[in-house]
């Protein structure tokens, strides 16, 4: 699930990632505490209810890890293979614009070349922002399966 671009707030996606990570960590701590206590108190052999919970615990970890790896792979495939070339070309355009501005022989030429430099810098900034957004979205997509399992388990196990 790709989120909106963070053009107006470049920190929004990264803040969302930090909040999601924090929520997952808190839920995981709660689940680990509950399950560790449950394992320590389980009889030998475990009751049917305990055995079901312990089996579910392992199954969920495998499923969440698999879904997380799939999300990471899909996000990596979504990155444009030409992104590095685009960034290089935009940096070269900025350098060329700077050189042309520095070698202006008249005020009108300098003004025109300054505008060209401004356009080149805007393009490069937008590309950098897009790359940042893609990276944050990839991290969020990769975290989602683990986060959803951890928070669901914290809710379910907290009721007992």
Residue 83 — very low, low, confident or very high, per pLDDT cuts 50/70/90? confident
Q: Looking at the predicted structure, is the pLDDT value of residue 160 above 90?
A: no
- Lookup: tokens for 114: 């300054």
pTM for the full predicted model: 0.71
* pLDDT score for 155: 92
Close Cβ partners of 67 (under 8 Å, ≥ 6 residues apart): 144, 145
Half-sphere exposure of 1 (CA within 13 A, CB side): 5
Residue 7 — very low, low, confident or very high, per pLDDT cuts 50/70/90? low
What residue has token string 């300098």? 110
* pLDDT score for 116: 93
| CA 133/CA 4 separation, integer angstroms | 8
- Lookup: tokens for 43: 């009889």
* pLDDT score for 41: 93
- Lookup: tokens for 76: 């990596």
Question: Residue 125 in contact with residue 141, Cβ under 8 Å?
Answer: no
Q: How far apart are the first and last CA of the chain?
A: 32
Question: Residue 69 in contact with residue 144, Cβ under 8 Å?
Answer: no
Q: What is the mean pLDDT of residues 78-92?
A: 76
């Amino acid at each position: 699930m790709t989120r909106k671009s963070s053009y107006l707030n470049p920190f929004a996606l990264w803040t969302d990632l930090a909040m999601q990570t924090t929520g997952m960590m808190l839920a995981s701590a709660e689940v680990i505490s509950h399950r560790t206590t449950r394992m320590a108190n389980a009889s030998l052999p475990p009751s049917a209810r305990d055995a079901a919970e312990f089996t579910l615990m392992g199954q969920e970890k495998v499923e969440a890890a698999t879904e997380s790896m799939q999300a990471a792979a899909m996000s990596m495939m979504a990155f444009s293979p030409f992104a590095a070339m685009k960034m290089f070309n935009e940096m070269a355009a900025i350098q060329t614009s700077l050189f042309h501005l520095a070698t202006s022989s008249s005020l009108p030429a300098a003004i025109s070349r300054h505008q060209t430099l401004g356009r080149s810098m805007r393009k490069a900034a937008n590309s950098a922002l897009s790359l940042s957004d893609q990276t944050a979205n990839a991290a969020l997509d990769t975290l989602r399966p683990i986060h959803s399992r951890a928070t669901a388990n914290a809710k379910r196990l907290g009721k007992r």
